[in-house]
């Protein structure tokens, strides 16, 4: 079997992009600023949301959006604290309110906090209407089959809402340059890859069009198996499968 390699630049790109992404599904977000009212209208798959510019009391249910807001220097007042990723551990601080779980918001707590805006993603889609009754709720999603375009749309929405357009443009430019350089090298060398996730003793493979499909669509790696299902949790695989497919990168 060809020796499986890991490349640091690929890992860094994935981290950078996922940090800027909103968990992260396809976002058709059209932002229109109503100057006279200082309001922003965001159209998304679940409806239309009107938000005042620069909201101060922000609640976030998506960790990718939270990371993006943190990078922008935007403070939040509440988030689900039961599964905070290590890289966002600062938000375990008591100054941030716990507003439930990713799937079960604490509606009473959220109402008490009187947020100016709530940001949600796919995991909160079923409770969107209830949250929208409390405060303007913006739904952001990322499409694995059109990853960078949907990420760009999501970031444009956040940049418009918080007047951080210049920061968004600068970061996207850096990412796009890095992706372009990587893709050129990968295609030149005709490299292939297999996307794998290990969790609780199970191994899953993800292919083109999946939530990690950017590895193929944007980075240029050829999939070692084009028959992997486009599902939320990937296809269950074995170590024997990996040996059989013999990917150059994993």
28-69 per-position pLDDT tens digit: 444 444 445 589 999 999 999 999 999 999 999 999 999 999
Alpha helices in the chain (DSSP H): 8-20, 63-72, 107-113, 128-134, 147-161, 165-189, 214-217, 239-245
Q: Which domains can be identified in the chain, with CATH numbers?
A: 15-166 (3.40.50.1980), 190-245 (3.40.50.1980)
117-163 per-position pLDDT tens digit: 999 999 999 999 999 999 999 999 988 778 888 999 999 999 999 99
Q: How far apart are CA 20 and CA 16, in angstroms?
A: 6
Query: 3-state DSSP call for residue 31?
Result: strand
Q: Is the pLDDT of residue 213 over 60?
A: yes
Q: How far apart are CA 37 and CA 128, in angstroms?
A: 25
- The dihedral through the CA atoms of 79, 72, 176, 198 has a sign that is negative
What's the predicted TM-score (pTM) here? Answer: 0.78
């Amino acid at each position: 079997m060809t020796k499986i390699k890991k490349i640091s630049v690929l890992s860094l790109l994935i981290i950078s992009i996922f940090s800027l992404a909103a968990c992260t599904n396809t976002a058709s977000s059209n932002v229109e600023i109503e100057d006279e009212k200082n309001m922003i209208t965001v159209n998304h798959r679940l409806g239309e949301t009107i938000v005042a510019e620069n909201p101060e009391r922000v609640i976030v249910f998506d960790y990718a959006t939270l990371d993006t807001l943190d990078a922008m220097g935007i403070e939040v007042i509440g988030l689900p604290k039961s599964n905070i990723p290590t890289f966002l551990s600062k938000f375990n601080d008591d100054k941030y309110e716990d507003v439930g779980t990713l799937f079960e918001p604490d509606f009473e707590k959220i109402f008490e906090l009187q947020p100016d805006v709530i940001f949600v993603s796919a995991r909160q889609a079923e409770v969107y209407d209830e949250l929208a009754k409390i405060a303007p709720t913006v739904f952001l999603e990322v499409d694995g089959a059109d990853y960078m375009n949907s990420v760009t749309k999501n970031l444009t929405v956040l940049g418009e809402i918080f007047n951080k357009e210049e920061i968004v443009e600068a970061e996207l430019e850096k990412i796009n340059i890095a992706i372009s350089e990587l893709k050129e090298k990968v295609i030149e060398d005709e490299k292939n890859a297999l996307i794998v996730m290990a969790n609780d003793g199970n191994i899953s493979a993800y292919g083109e069009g999946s939530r990690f499909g950017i590895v193929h669509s944007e980075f240029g790696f050829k999939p070692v198996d084009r028959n992997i299902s486009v599902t939320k949790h990937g296809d269950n695989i074995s170590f024997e499968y990996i040996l059989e497919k013999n990917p150059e990168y994993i």
